Structure 1
Amino acid sequence: MIKSFLLLVLISLFGCNNDDHSNNTSPVLIPYPEGLTTHYITVNSVSRKYLVYRPAGMTSVKAVVMVLHGGGGAGVGVSELGTHPLSVFRTLADQEKFLVVYPEGSSDIQGNPGWNDCRSDDFSGSQGDDITFLKQLNAQLVTELTINASKMFLTGTSNGALMTYSYAFQFPETIKAIAVSSGNLPEFPESGVCTTGSSIPLPILLTHGTSDPAMPANGGCVANLGGLCNRGKVISQSATINYWLQRNGLQNEMPVVSQFDVNVTDAGNVEKRVYNGANPLVYYVLHNAGHQVPSKTVFSNSSAASGIQNRDIEFAEEVWSFFKGLQ
């Protein structure tokens, strides 16, 4: 009888060890498989798409970075390695073990994915309920991953940058910080929160090209190659910066300024301005650069619509370093 008892104890111990090993390889805490996977969420009876990248070996959630594509782009496009600078977030996630989420915008009048941001005069843009989609997705991720707003970050480029602003106006308490590339605030925002903004400070990083043809640094019509100005108007980059300095209580701070030109073939250098404080602002002036996400590894061709790409900084690296420093 004693032998039988000992045998049962050994079987029980070995069984527990096997179960523990299984739990270590497939944590219940993160309900997304490793790699890039596609998911859907229903928002007001409409199925909305988003992609999640979970790096191999990630066993806990240190941060979630939600990445918004530009107008006419797509989550699957900007997440594909080597094809878009925003895909570099995946490479960084492999190194730093954070979760990357690529939501997909609603369709504009031409059927291309975009974002219904705060512009009231964007007559050809998306009309979907994108703000509810992002808010609902944010809340779902927080619940699923058992985290809070201090681990949620939002970034976007172009139309995605304006959507990032829109979210920061309406639900700033649900995220820790934002970062934008090629985005000015709308000159004629929609009524309501988009007009009044929010008094809640929010750390922010911005990059903008001084020769951006689609999002003019001095303000004006967006993507106005046809001369119709049907994509709305934005204020200048300097006015956008001043808004965020005021909101974050940094209007009296002197910036720490540095300049560098890593790639001498891209026709411009970078001026970095850092406004330190409890809610910092970091601004990269991309001299002579156009409407492109800056990157040192994923290059984009120049065109009349986009201008020249700055290749002195890696946008994703600068953004993640900024986000990580806030934790």
Structure 2
Amino acid sequence: MIKLAILLTALCGAAQAATITSAEMPRPEGPRHYLMATPVQAATGKRPLVIVLHGHTGSANLVFGKERLNDPMQQWLEIADREQLLVIAPDGMKGSDGKRGWNDCRSDASTNPKSDDVSLIGALIDKAVAENNADPDRVYVIGMSNGGIMTFRLGVELAPRLAAIATIAALAPARSLCPAPTHPLPLLMVHGTADKIVPYAGGEVGHIMLKGRGTTLGAEQTLALWRKPLHLPDAATKEEDLPHQRESGDTSVRHVVWGQDQLEFYKVERGGHSEPSIHHRMGWIAGALLGAQNADFELAEEAWRFFRDKRRQ
């Protein structure tokens, strides 16, 4: 049931705008809330659909900049209007710690909710295709942290319905309730080598204030896991360092590509648990808690560049 619709003028001084609709979908576990951004311009054909999954303790409001104005994911609002996309940001369910999150396959993440989030995302795709003219061949999912690990799960269980996925500060579960990926689904992955929450080398997730968050494989193991169904060799096709920006401080980015942009990895040297962004900078408190934020590229823009020409196989 639709609760409200507002016209949000674009961020960072741009003249663009996107209409944000707040809605709920009935599910077996109870009503599930989500926000949907649609371009102001009327659709002339089917539109690509991007689903954005927030991290543990996050929300759809945060993704769209309604809780924290500098969240990098809100760049999707500008992209939605410019590129004529539909963008959906659902809310996760609350787990045993009282925080919103996703049931992402980590068998040892005791505070994860028990909700059927795979079915939720499938239902959101169905609704967008039936009612909002979404293109079923151009459905993409991007997730941050817990939302990124949930994205990996969707890349296994909803793979035939997706064209590509992207993850930030997320790694494959070490103790997984889900099978390994088998569908050749393109993946863009971003991870910082100094991530304080999801360590680059793998191991226990969380910090002194976050317990019961399970364990993950390391970044290199995760990439190897996803190279297999894509039939990609261990050796990369291309590697390059991105131009360094002063705002990036001590961080830097190595861009690694396998195949014909089927698998891409942005290795953020000395980067923390955050989305790289040029325009949406975190405050010093967030930096102290999560580690350094890189500014050598705009995460959402690079994700859309990776997504835009891909179609489901």
The answer to whether the 8 Å contact 2:205/2:216 transfers is yes
Please report the TM-score for the alignment, with normalisation by the length of structure 1: 0.83
Among candidates 189, 194, 213, match of residue 231 of structure 1: 213
Among candidates 25, 29, 32, match of residue 41 of structure 1: 25
Question: What's the secondary structure of 1:50's corresponding residue?
Answer: strand
Which deviations, in whole Å up to 9, do the C-alpha atoms of 1:14-52 show, x marking residues without a partner? xxxxxxxxxxxxxxxxxxxx6001011111161111110
- Gaps of at least 5 residues in structure 1 are 1-33
The CA deviation at 1:198 is: 3.4
Among candidates 214, 217, 232, match of residue 250 of structure 1: 232
The CA deviation at 1:229 is: 5.2
The corresponding residue for 2:35 is 51
Among candidates 44, 50, 67, match of residue 52 of structure 2: 67
- Tell me which amino acid in the other structure corresponds to 2:201: N
The corresponding residue for 1:183 is 170
The CA deviation at 1:313 is: 0.9
The corresponding residue for 2:9 is none
* 1: CA distance, partners of 2:94 / 2:235: 41
- Tell me which amino acid in the other structure corresponds to 1:57: Q
The corresponding residue for 1:119 is 106
The CA deviation at 1:253 is: 5.2
Among candidates 186, 194, 199, match of residue 211 of structure 1: 194
The corresponding residue for 2:255 is 272
* 1: CA distance, partners of 2:65 / 2:88: 13
* 2: CA distance, partners of 1:299 / 1:146: 34
Among candidates 136, 146, 156, match of residue 149 of structure 1: 136
Determine which structure has the larger strand proportion and give its number. Answer: 2
Please report the TM-score for the alignment, with normalisation by the length of structure 2: 0.87
The CA deviation at 1:108 is: 1.6
- Gaps of at least 5 residues in structure 2 are 1-17
The answer to whether the 8 Å contact 1:75/1:102 transfers is yes
The corresponding residue for 2:274 is 292
Return 285-294 or 146-155, whichever deviates more.
Answer: 146-155
The corresponding residue for 2:8 is none
The answer to whether the 8 Å contact 2:236/2:256 transfers is no
Q: Give the number of the structure whose alpha-carbon radius of gyration is greater.
A: 1
The answer to whether the 8 Å contact 1:65/1:154 transfers is yes
The CA deviation at 1:133 is: 1.1
Question: What's the secondary structure of 2:26's corresponding residue?
Answer: strand
Among candidates 92, 105, 111, match of residue 79 of structure 2: 92
Q: What is the RMSD of the two structures over their aligned residues, measured on CA atoms?
A: 1.8
* 2: CA distance, partners of 1:41 / 1:66: 15
The answer to whether the 8 Å contact 1:223/1:305 transfers is no
Return 41-50 or 258-267, whichever deviates more.
Answer: 258-267
Question: What's the secondary structure of 1:151's corresponding residue?
Answer: strand
* 1: CA distance, partners of 2:113 / 2:295: 30
Return 171-180 or 60-69, whichever deviates more.
Answer: 60-69
Which deviations, in whole Å up to 9, do the C-alpha atoms of 1:221-240 show, x marking residues without a partner? 001325x8521000000000
* 1: CA distance, partners of 2:207 / 2:176: 18
Question: What's the secondary structure of 1:305's corresponding residue?
Answer: helix
Which deviations, in whole Å up to 9, do the C-alpha atoms of 1:256-287 show, x marking residues without a partner? 1110243234211111011124x700110001
Distance 1:47 1:157, change over 3 A: same
Among candidates 151, 165, 173, match of residue 160 of structure 2: 173
The answer to whether the 8 Å contact 2:49/2:135 transfers is no
Determine which structure has the larger helix proportion and give its number. Answer: 1
**Percent of matched pairs sharing the same residue:** 29
Which deviations, in whole Å up to 9, do the C-alpha atoms of 1:202-221 show, x marking residues without a partner? 01101100100100000000
Which deviations, in whole Å up to 9, do the C-alpha atoms of 1:305-326 show, x marking residues without a partner? 3111111111100000111132
The corresponding residue for 1:135 is 122
Return 173-182 or 138-147, whichever deviates more.
Answer: 138-147
Q: Please tell me whether residue 202 in structure 1 is matched to residue 185 in structure 2.
A: yes
The answer to whether the 8 Å contact 2:253/2:268 transfers is yes
Return 160-169 or 80-89, whichever deviates more.
Answer: 80-89
The corresponding residue for 2:10 is none
Among candidates 283, 289, 298, match of residue 305 of structure 1: 289
The answer to whether the 8 Å contact 1:261/1:268 transfers is no
Return 130-139 or 246-255, whichever deviates more.
Answer: 246-255
